[in-house]
Structures are given as C-alpha cells and as structure tokens.
Amino acid sequence: MQTAQWIIKRYRRRRAIVSVSVAIVALIFTLTFRFISERNLNHHRITAFTQHAVNALDQLLLPLAAGRNTLIPLVGQPCAGVHLQLLKQAASLQTVRAVALIKDGILYCSSIFGSLDVPIKQVQSLLPTREPLLMLSTDQTLLKGRPVLIMWYPSSKDGQDGVIEAVNIDLLSDLVLEPQVPLITQAVLSVSGKHLVHGKGIMTTLPPPVNESAYRRASTHFPFSVSVSGPGAAKLALLHLPSQLPLALMISLLTSFITWFATASRMSFSREINQGIVGREFELFCQPLLEARTLKCDGVEILLRWHNPRQGWISPEVFISIAEEHNQIAPLTRYVLTEIQQQLHFFPDDAHFHIGINAAPSHLRNGELLRDLNQLWFNHHPMQQLIIELTERDVLFEMDSRMVQDLRHRGVKIAIDDFGTGNSSLAWLEQLRPDVLKIDKSFTKTIGTDAINSTITDMIIALGQRLKIELVAEGVETPLQARHLRLRGVNTLQGFLYAEPMPIKAFPAWLAEHRETPPTRQNGDALPFTRG
C-alpha cells in the first residue's frame, strides 16, 4: 500500500532524475557550445591569417603596378640618362630589390648595376613575354639563389621590350607567412605554378597535407594565392575541449541545483493534488451514521476518494497527510462543499439528517471557513444539518475558538473528529465546547479486550456524558462493540458493521434497503483504500 513517505520519496526520486538529466544535458550543451565556439574562433583565426597575408602582398604590389606608368616611358632611353630615375623609383618602394629596363630582349639598364648587356632569358628564362607576368623566381645577380617575386610589364606588342621589378619576397615572407603553431603549421605563397614555402624556399610541387586541413585565399588584384595548412579548426577545438570540462561541470551542477528547486512545486505530490482538484478527480463517498438504539440512519460523514488517472487509487491517509503538510486542506474542503451542492438531492431533505464534513482548524483562521460556507453552503439554503468535524492534528488558537462560536450561531454543529488521538484533547474540549465527540476507531476496536485503551474508551464516554456532548463511535465492526457502546449510552454508531463508505449516488439504494431489512454487515470486497 502506498504511504505518504513512499509517495514523497518517489516524487523526490523523479525530481532527482530530472535534475541529473538536466545536468547531463547542460554538460553536453556546454561542451558542445564551447567546441563550436572554439572551432569557429580557430576558423576565424585561419581566415584572418590568410586574409592578412593576401592584403599585405596586395599593398606591396599595388604601388609597383601604379609605378609602371612612370617606368615604361623610360624603356629604350640610354641608361646613363635614366639610371638615377630607376634608383629613385627603387628607393621609394622599400621592398623592391631592383628595377631593370629591357630592350629587344636585352637587359640593358639596372637600378643596381647600371648599364648592362645581358639577354633577359639568361636571367629569367620565362621572359620576355607579350603579357604582363607575376612569377616566383630565384635571384641570379645580387643574392644568388634567394627567392624573388618578379613583376614583368611589356611595353611593346612583340613583348621584347618592358620593365622588370624584383621584390625581396624572402624578407616579406618572414613577416606575412610565418606559421602560427599549432593552428597553422605551414603557409605557402603560390604564383604561376610555383610555391614559396616559409622556411623551405621555392618549390614546383607541394606534397599533399597528411592528416591536416588546408585553406586557400586568392588575391582579387593579382594572380597569386596564399594557402595555409594545419590540424584543422575542429580538431584543435576537440583537443582543447578537456580544458573546458571544469567550467562545463560547474554550469551543469548549477543548472541541476536550479532545476531541483524549480521543480519543487511542479514535480511534487502537492501539485498532483491541485491537478486533481482542478480536474475533479476526487469522488465524494459517504458512510452512514446510525442512531445507536433504533439503528435508524440519521446522517452521513462525507469522505474523499481519489482514483488518480496517472497513478491509480491513492489512499486518503496518503493525500490527506500530504495536503495537511502543504496547506491544501482548505482547497479540498471547498472542493467537497462544491461537490455536495451538486449531489445534495441524494440525501433526505430533512432538518434532522446531518451531513458531516471534515475541516482543519487552520481553515478557521481569519474567518476563511465561514466565508466559504456563506458562499458554498448557506447561499443554497439546504435543509440538512451541517456538522464540521475538526481534527486534533492542527494547533488550535484562541481566534479559532471564537470563529467556532460564530459557526454555531449560524446553525452549524461542531464535532471533534478522532477524539483522543491528538496531543491536547482536554484543551480542545475547554476551548471549543463541541456539540459532538467522535471516538476514534483505535479505541473502539479495543472493546472487549484487556487493553488499557478499552478503559480509556469508557473514560471518554463518561467524559462526554458529563459534559452533555453527543457521542459518535467510529470503526464499529462487531456486534460486541455495538452492544458495549449502546449500553454505555453512546448516541451514534459508525462502521463496517452497518455500511462501508459508498459513492454518494449509491446512498439512496442503501437507505431504502436499510429501512426494509434489519442491518447486517455488508459482504463483499471493500472498496480500495477506504477510510471510515
């Protein structure tokens, strides 16, 4: 059988599962987010590196391209007359190693060596050409074997005349092509089928990268491109991921704690009770109360039964105790009052027939119960006598006792339910001066035994009679108990000997049968989780 502790433990377990699940999701999400962020950052660094290299080379070559309009008119003029001008042009462009003029395929004037008479093909085998040309080559004059970037601009239709500008690309490569390990392990400048690899010189072919990724960006101004290779943005991000684990664990733990506290109200049995009230899942049962001597039914006690569509039958001992812990007794009492008004026609329309409703003393505070009764009971002007049964489990305050007097003035009887099981029974009698005492079934079942509680039962009966309070015995299950209680002057009997709790709509049939035949203990299986 389910208990309140078992229900609460299960809901806490569900909350724990949800919190751990959220923590795992948060951990995975955080690591994924950090991985994606790191990968994107690495990719941005790679693209920024290549873009910077391309821009730097563009900024170098654009002034050279602009200066050709100054140099081309000098082709064919005597070297002695233009040499100084070549020197000034080379000096103005700091990265230019040399500027030379070619006439009829002969290099005849150089900014470095002055007048020359060298076939250009001996210096650069691909020259002269009819089209402008940008190419990587090696220096054959000043710093032999060092890489240079050659810009060729023809000045004649046959391509035999023109201007050469040689750029000290070896020095520039140290500035713009130096790799950024571990992200970039190799940077390459590719021009006209040749490749300048940083630290390795000019190569005609490049070996394919092994277990590395390559990225290439071409210039929009000149026929060259810059390529970089390395482990790849994703691979480096993955290698860097373990360093993000402490942060991810902190976030996941924080998320788990937040989830645990956020689900306190949403994933709790108290929320389940609220859903049951809103969804009208609770059903009203009633248990008849019989006059002890005539065995005439003179009233009923209203009981709640709950067949939760999500969890099945739930015992009142479970949901009532949890409702008390979470201050939900008042909403349940309002629910009972509302449902009774819709089913009041099942009961005799008789002022001597009483209907007992359980309420908590806390519901009396600040006049809350009186306001609820005004709205849900008195406004409908029912004929039946209303009895409010208060339990001793709550603490009784002075203001509550004054509210009890207000209820009594409105014609409501006050009963103490489960009398003798609380911590302050005598104090309740003094403050409330109730109309009815309901002897708890734990005392009734001891009748006829040698138990101390059997003596206490007789003392409770004597006390009630001395104070002229009506007495109701709960849990009467045997003729011996009924006889004992009747002989000692108990007014009303309630228990399985006469009737088990039944749905309200079944009460008229029971009442009709009871009037025609002597009452006996009903046979058959008890309803699930009954509570007398």
Domain membership flag for residue 239: no
Structural domain including 407 reads 283-516
Please report where in the chains the tokens 């929320």 appear, as a residue.
Answer: 271
Closest CA to 403 of 394, 414, 393: 414
Domain membership flag for residue 318: yes
**Phi/psi of residue 197, nearest 5 degrees:** -100, 130
Stretch 491-513: mean pLDDT, rounded?
A: 94
Distance of CA 527 to the CA centre of its chain: 41
Number of residues assigned to the chain: 532
Q: Domain containing 378 — which CATH number?
A: 3.20.20.450
The b/e string for 421-449 (b: 16+ C-beta within 10 A; e otherwise) is ebeebeebbebbebbbbbbbbebbbbbee
Stretch 10-22: mean pLDDT, rounded?
A: 78
**How big is the chain by its Cα radius of gyration, in Å?**
50
Stretch 126-155: mean pLDDT, rounded?
A: 85
Stretch 116-123: mean pLDDT, rounded?
A: 90
Task: State both tokens at 145.
Answer: 């074997």
Query: pLDDT value at position 169?
Result: 82
Task: State both tokens at 92.
Answer: 């103005």
Strands 436-439 and 470-473: parallel
**144 or 443, higher pLDDT:** 443
Tens digits of residue pLDDT in 263-293: 655 545 677 777 778 888 899 999 999 999 9
For the chain, the 3-state helix, strand and coil shares in percent, each to the nearest 5, are 45, 25, 30
* Residues 6, 9, 13, 15, Cα dihedral to 10°: 120
397: confidence class by pLDDT, cuts 50, 70, 90: low
Whether the CA torsion 48, 54, 57, 58 is positive or negative: it is: negative
Is the separation of the CB atoms in 177 and 187 below 8 Å?
A: yes
Query: pLDDT value at position 124?
Result: 87
Tens digits of residue pLDDT in 191-220: 988 999 887 888 888 877 777 888 899 999
Is the separation of the CB atoms in 154 and 128 below 8 Å?
A: yes
Distance in Å from the first CA to the final CA of the chain: 17
Residue 129 in 3-state DSSP? Answer: coil
Whether cis (ω within 30° of 0) applies to the bond prior to 182 is yes
Query: pLDDT value at position 432?
Result: 76
The helix (H) or strand (E) run that includes residue 118 is: strand 114-119
Domain count of the fold of the chain: 1
Task: State both tokens at 476.
Answer: 């009467």
Domain membership flag for residue 235: no
By the 10 Å C-beta count (0-12 exposed, 13-18 middle, 19+ buried), 111 is classed as: buried
Domain membership flag for residue 88: no
Domain membership flag for residue 201: no
| pLDDT surpassing 50 at residue 320 | yes
Query: pLDDT value at position 267?
Result: 44
Percent of the chain with pLDDT over 70: 87
**Phi/psi of residue 379, nearest 5 degrees:** -65, -20
Residue 32 in 3-state DSSP? Answer: helix
Is the separation of the CB atoms in 188 and 228 below 8 Å?
A: yes
Domain membership flag for residue 486: yes
Domain membership flag for residue 27: no
Domain membership flag for residue 493: yes
Whether cis (ω within 30° of 0) applies to the bond prior to 128 is yes
**127 or 271, higher pLDDT:** 127
* Residues 109, 114, 116, 121, Cα dihedral to 10°: -60
